[in-house]
Structure 1
Amino acid sequence: MKPLTLVMALLGTGSAFAAAPNFVFFITDDISPADLGIYGNRKVHTPNLDRIARKGLVFDNAYLTISSCSPSRCSIITGRYPHNTGAPELHLPLPSGQRTFVQELREAGYHTLLSGKNHMAKPDQLGFAMASDSGPSGSENWIRHLRERPKDQPFFFWFASHDAHHPFQQNAQAPIYDPADVPVPPMLADGPLTRRELANYYHEVSRTDTYAGRIIDELERQGILDSTYFIYCSDNGRPFPRCKTYLYDSGIRTPLLVVGPRVATGRTKSLVSSIDFSATILDLADIPIPETVQGASFRTTLSDPTYSHRDVAFAERNWHVFQLHERAVRSGKWLYIRNWWPARHNVSGESASFRFGAVRELWELAAQGELSPGQALLTVTPQPPELLFDVEADPFQMVNLAGETNHSDTLRRMRLLVEQWIEETGDSVPANPTPDRQPLHQSDQQAKIRRGDLPGADKGAERINRPGPIRTDH
């Protein structure tokens, strides 16, 4: 019997639930931290998140396990690396045998609900008692759910917006941006097509802020804000070239804002991984963490921002419209990326398809020699097999240090960390990988994807629970 369920049986429903915290898990779609005011952006309007951040803790070094929609969500909800979930590639459903932290919450007596984007599996399989969706934001039902929830149960709400995912749709819930006035991230081409696309994207970024503010206001109105954890994050980086699907910070780093009981206010530089979200939420609910969870709780960091529960964070890049196989580790100020298929173009749909204006503009300007080497890198072959970046000195990861002799010791150390993680978690390079879905610059949305071998399948990775390194000796 689960702890909360046991207390219910002994003391009665009301007594048991009085001490149980609530959770609102707000996961956005395709948003990078640099697009929010709480991370220094002064052009994109996110006043509600600015206000909410004053009540809680902002994480400056939160990293995803993959920068690809469905694999990222499946990783978060299981607390497992993508190759260990059985769903490491885009559009693969989570296998029914995988355990989710939402199932643990529901069995312990929580009212669980998913509203907005799913992209994982059937809601009941994931542990949700209810599910709903709406458009264009996916956020339109959230306040109603908060008001109509059962009042005799603690709740966990997985609120998943469609913002800010292509195709962008404008409405009255956020500002309309002038393309001439929007900030252009340095890895993109600064041209009219890119600016127009960014203006539409930033509208949807701001729309997530609108709904974040409404959630906090409703929790305050109901008098339950002090007993509710509010978590704001994203599944991957902005849907633009060299961002979404990539293992640079523009793709793999996530915004993370947490407000709740005994959560400190301010900022933390402590390293966390999205694989840790499940363990942390269960820990905060005082529910045992299943052995299938590979992540580790950062509960202590929430009350002590100087505490770091991990020294390394790993990430992977698998098939996402095109064949990809890269692995990465972040440790201290260093980011290391290894590419197993350097002869291939290093692209996904959001960096290759000419139906996106920013993609067309970048490739055309690259062909004309009008981009910096860092901006143009994804358009050339072969690719570097290894990348090493000093993230503090080079925040946009434009200068590869892997070939410099004075960084050879760091390169070797980071390479060994990735190799150890691969070995311990049962990762592998597919011998017969899933083929590209479409030609390089086309948008051939095939009805059926012919899957190949999945990374880790030959090693039985779905059944492996070892997490790989978390702490290092230095």
Structure 2
Amino acid sequence: MSRRALLICCLLSFVGLLLAGPATAAETTQPNFIVFIADDMAWDDAGVYGHPAIRTPNLDALAAAGMRFDNAFLTCSSCSPSRCSIMTGRYPHNTGGAHQLHNPLPADQIVFPQLLRDAGYYTVSAGKWHLGPHVMSRFDHVEKKMNRWVEQLKTRPQEKPFFMWFAFTDPHRPYQDDTIPEPHTPEDAVVPPYLPDLPEVRQDLAAYYDEITRLDGVVGNVVEELERQKLTDNTVIVFLSDNGRPFPRCKTTIYDSGIKTPFIVKWPAQVAAGTVTDSLVSSIDLAPTILEAAGVEPGATFQGVSFLPVLSDPAAEVRDYIFAEHNWHDFEDFQRSAHSKRFNYIRTEYTDVPGTPPADAVRSPTYQAMHDLKAEGKLTDAQLNPYVVPRPKEELYDLLRDPHELRNLADEPAYAGVLERMRSVLDRWQQETDDTVPAERRPDGFDRVTGERIRPKQ
């Protein structure tokens, strides 16, 4: 080719590039990720999930611009085990000892942010940590102070994609007055049938609602900063909770009131606005999903499945069952659950102890008021649930007909086939994940009536 012809080809190529225009950010960069995780927030305690009074305009807007999951579940309803499970993409009993409250993740456990960091991401954890000291080094930065999240976005390295884990302490107990300028009132409370409708309970729920609204405001601040930096289209935002509300028959149970979670994903570049899915997903699915979206191979340690197909097609199905567990959390216990879209099957090993709520909920105005009603014989069967001894070995609930799980169908002949199927599903999962009952039981750490810590005898 002559020198003149080569020059003409180069000029034509250059003109072609100019006419094509610059590539979009979504085409040339990996997506950014922000995961918001609430502390003790029930799945239906937000406006977008149908609550008539809790003010959550920013969560509502997040869902309106993304996808709402109506069948998202946690692997347990206990703070640190749930978070460790999400981070490792493993069931709590497979995290090397982090299945019980406050047990740290061992150093040999792989957390998905470290794989993102290895792939060039800038990784941050800000807010509540609760994972133990051994995996702090897997993040580029760990900020334990609360509400420093906008600052993390402002000070990040501009040349790298980022992953940020923003962990609330709201709406965890204890509650205080004047949490928000316009507090919720007792009249705003929606009292589930397993709690007594008393002034003390309504006020307790209203205080819990206030912290959810405060949380919602922080979400709004972060979204606003993303918009200011023009990062909205290529940033995946996920919102979920670590367990159910801190009330009797909620947190630490493997009923839906404990393990079902609000779950919202916003990703304008990939997810159609205002979509809703009823596909089953588990919190251990978050790690492989984020890794796949980032183009990173998850590796063999992750037990979840990617729900990336659901984000492009709300009707897609990635699993038939979710599995949940309850281990020591203030009090000794061992429960397992296999859950389909319609049925929840629960197996309890320690039937000789009651299903006492966590110690902070035992100390709550709600539970203390329940003690008085129990003494007077005024609690309904559903409200007596935390006091029942012995507990049933097996429970089966039809969530379509009984969403609050008040009628145990395990002994009803019409459901014998369903019971046997769910038993088999749980048996197979326990065998596959090497899940066995401990040889020794860990004793209670708190008094089941007062919620006060039990001090070792001198």
Tell me the SS of whatever aligns to 1:44: coil
| Cα offset, 1:370, TM superposition | 2.1
What is the match of residue 451 of structure 2? 443
Distance in 1 separating the partners of 2:361 and 2:148: 35
* Match 1:119 to one of 107, 130, 133: 130
Segments of 5+ residues of structure 2 without an aligned counterpart are 1-24
Note the alpha carbon deviations across 1:207-265, whole angstroms, 9 max, x for none.
11111111111111110100000000000000000000001111000100000120133
Distance 2:41 2:170 in 1: 8
The reply to whether residue 198 of structure 1 matches residue 209 of structure 2 is no
Q: 2 CA distance for matches of 1:170 and 1:106?
A: 41
> Any idea what SS the aligned residue of 1:113 has?
strand
Any residues of structure 2 matched to 1:60-209 within 5 Å, and which?
A: 60-86=70-96, 87-122=98-133, 125=136, 127-134=138-145, 138=146, 140-171=147-178, 173=180, 175-209=182-216
Q: How does 1:10-409 map to 2 (within 5 A)?
A: 18-86=28-96, 87-122=98-133, 125=136, 127-134=138-145, 138=146, 140-171=147-178, 173=180, 175-260=182-267, 261-265=269-273, 266-350=275-359, 353=362, 355-409=363-417
Describe the SS at the equivalent of 1:34: coil
When the two structures are aligned, how many residues end up with a matched partner?
430
Question: CA 1:319/1:405 → structure 2, altered by over 3 Å: closer, same or farther?
Answer: same
Q: Equivalent pairs: percent with the same residue? A: 44
Specify the SS of the correspondent of 2:44: helix
Cα gap change, 1:441/1:326 in structure 2, threshold over 3 Å: closer, same or farther?
same
- Tell me the CA shift for residue 131 of structure 1: 1.5
Structure 1 regions of 5+ residues with no counterpart? 1-14, 450-474
Q: 1:60-101: CA deviations, max 9, x gaps?
A: 000000000000000000000000002100010001100010
Instruction: Name the counterpart of 1:463.
Output: none
- Shift >4 Å, 4+ stretches: 15-18, 170-174, 446-449
Select between 154-163 and 168-177 the one with higher mean Cα deviation: 168-177
Q: CA deviation at 1:186?
A: 2.3
CA distance in 2, matches of 1:170, 1:117: 22
RMSD across aligned C-alpha pairs, in angstroms?
Answer: 1.9
Deviation at 1:349, TM superposition (A): 2.1
8 Å CA contact retained: 2:359, 2:451: no
Aligned AA (1:310): R
User: Cα distance 1:359–1:279, how it changes in 2: closer, same or farther (>3 A)?
Assistant: same
- Structure 2 Cα separation of the partners of residues 158 and 67 of structure 1: 19
How far has the Cα of 1:199 moved from its partner? 1.3
The structure with the largest alpha-carbon Rg is 2
Is contact 1:66-1:317 (8 Å) kept? Answer: yes
Q: Counterparts in 2 of 1:444-463, with a 5 A limit?
A: 444-445=452-453
Aligned-pair CA distance for 1:338: 0.5
Cα deviation, residue 371, structure 1: 2.4
Please tell me whether the aligned partners of residues 335 and 390 of structure 1 are also in contact (alpha carbons under 8 angstroms).
Answer: yes
77-86 vs 160-169, greater mean Cα deviation = 160-169
1:431 shift after superposition: 1.5
The CA distance in 1 between the partners of 2:159 and 2:449, in whole Å, is 54
Q: Is the 8 A contact 1:31 1:164 kept in 2?
A: yes
Displacement of 1:350 in angstroms is: 4.5
Bigger shift: residues 28-37 or 118-127 = 118-127
